[in-house]
Amino acid sequence: MNKALLVVDVQKAFYNEKWGDRNNHDAEEKMATLIDHWRKKGLEVIYIQHQSNDPESVFYTKQEGVEIKESVKPIGEEQIFTKTVNSGFIGTNLESYLREREINEVVIVGLTTPHCVSTTARMSGNLGFHTYVVSDATAAYGIYDQDGNYVEPEKVHTVSLATIHEEFALVMTTDQLIKKLAL
């Protein structure tokens, strides 16, 4: 199987204090480990970058927040697909890019687990790609539910992963993935 690593929305906007508490503070380190393995094997590393046209957004195209974090920055000719919604497949040619290269196995890392990571994973699975989400190379922020109750970041992360596991993707850790895919 041809494989691609999708690095979703690992952008400076997530340094903004507006997000509050986050789990998995080592996620970017795990992402960098996987990117390094991918590059050493000559496999495709693809970046998904969220951009907003709203000047008030931390992802506004003319603000520093839109930039990809240094620790996982693309090099050379690595592809960057820009999007304005949660899924890396909507409004981009990501699907056709993968199909043209006969890539049928997709590994997803990035930010944030309940939003762009899980939405991209759901679509990837629904489009027929064999999809993995790396639990320790993703992270979530605390959120408030519909009744105003605070939900801790770890719980948001865990439940988000549980809702996609074995339905849209296989969820595993960096070490499990490296062993399974012999990276």
Hunting for tokens 């920055």 — which residue is that? 73
- Position 182 pLDDT exceeds 90: no
What are 154-157's contacts with CB under 8 Å, separation 24+?
154/23, 156/23, 156/113, 156/114, 157/23, 157/24, 157/113, 157/114
Tokens describing residue 103: 């890539």
- Position 61 pLDDT exceeds 70: yes
**Quick one: which of 138, 139, 115, 131 has its CA closest to 167?**
131
Question: What's the rounded mean pLDDT across residues 119-148?
Answer: 98
Q: List the domain boundaries for the chain.
A: 2-180
CA atoms of 66 and 9, how far apart (whole Å): 9
- Position 3 pLDDT exceeds 80: yes
Q: CB-based burial of residue 148 (10 Å sphere; 0-12 exposed, 13-18 middle, 19+ buried)?
A: exposed
Q: What is the pLDDT of residue 1?
A: 66
Instruction: Residue 3: count other Cβ atoms within 10 Å of its Cβ.
Output: 17
Residue 165's alpha-carbon distances to 16, 34, 159, in angstroms, are 29, 20, 10
Second CATH level (architecture) for the domain 2-180:
3-Layer(aba) Sandwich (3.40)
Q: What predicted TM-score, i.e. pTM, was given to this entire model?
A: 0.97
**Quick one: which of 77, 81, 71, 19 has its CA closest to 50?**
81
- Position 158 pLDDT exceeds 70: yes
